[in-house]
Amino acid sequence: MVIRCGILNEGSKEYGKSMVKTLVSDGAVVAVVGYNLSPKVAIPQIVDEVAEQLKFIIEWSRMRLASQKSPIHLMGHSAGAQLIFQALLKLPKAIGESVLSLILISGVYDLEPLIGTEMNKSLKLDRALAYSLSPINNVREIHIMYGAHLKLSVVVGEDDTPTFVAQSREFFKTLEQYFTSSESISLHILPHYHHFNIIVGLGCKEESVYELIDAIAPARIIDAAVGVSTNAALLEIKKSMSTMFKWLKRVSGDYHHRILLSY
């Protein structure tokens, strides 16, 4: 699942489409998740929206992919990295444990620097809210809930802004305080990438960022998870998603409009 790129008051899930075709061609089922924007909704509500969609996708995958241990990898870019981390904390542990890895790309891990910016006119952050919504302040909680099995990969372009690179380094240092195994956490500062072309690179198998993500979260899982041919598996996925979306519309309003599924 990909939490869309962009910031909390601009953009849409369509920004995540550039990588979908390549990931799907490798055998992945990709859900690109969007959300309402501030100031229409407050950031805590955005986190709740993302958590609801995570819960939906995880429960669907459990139902259709035959095993609760089916690999689920969550990837977020920029504000999406912050949202996916915070949303995972909102899930019941029994559901969140299905997530094998978090891949956080060019993330916003400390929201406090945003308080004094023009953007905060729509974000409406104060110090208490910024602190509670910052992943760097919630590493202990994520470790308590999922530390036994969760893998976290922090990825940033070497040519990104100094602030994004610094936040990635500081966030990784905080991870090291709680996740003691080098197999559980990793930091990747990739040459020749900045905040925007790193996402474009995920749409090309020859790009080093794609090779990295493919190594962290291999996409070729459908046959093993379902136990049938890929074509048959995808037909079942298509049918089940149609049914599930109709159910979700009844119980959860318009959440289904914010999920872009590709298979």
Q: Per-residue pLDDT tens for 112-123? A: 999 999 999 999
Q: Contact 85/138 with Cβ under 8 angstroms?
A: yes
Neighbours of 57 (CB within 10 A): 21
72 CB-near residues (< 8 Å, 6+ apart): 1, 57, 58, 61, 98, 99, 100
* 8-12, 94-98, 212-216: least confidently modelled range: 8-12
Residue 130's nearest CA partner among 120, 140, 121 is 120
Whether the predicted pLDDT of 199 surpasses 50: yes
How far from the centroid of its chain's Cα atoms is residue 187's Cα?
16
Band (pLDDT 50/70/90 cuts) for residue 180 is confident
Residue 154 tokens read as: 């922090």
Contact 45, 120 (CB under 8 A): no
Question: CA 27 → CA 151, 175, 196, 233, distances in Å?
Answer: 21, 31, 25, 11
In which residue are the tokens 């090291």 written?
A: 176
Rounded average pLDDT over 10-33: 68
pLDDT of residue 238: 44
Residue 82 identity (one-letter amino acid): Q
Report the greatest alpha carbon distance in the chain: 54
With a CB cutoff of 8 Å and minimum separation 6, the contacts of 17 are 32, 260
Find out whether 87 and 50 touch, Cβ atoms under 8 Å. Answer: yes
Comparing 224 with 237, the larger pLDDT belongs to: 237
Give pLDDT, residue 253: 45
- Residue 18 has what pLDDT? 64
Query: How many whole angstroms separate alpha carbon 74 and alpha carbon 219?
Result: 12
Q: Is the pLDDT of residue 51 over 90?
A: yes
SS3 44: helix
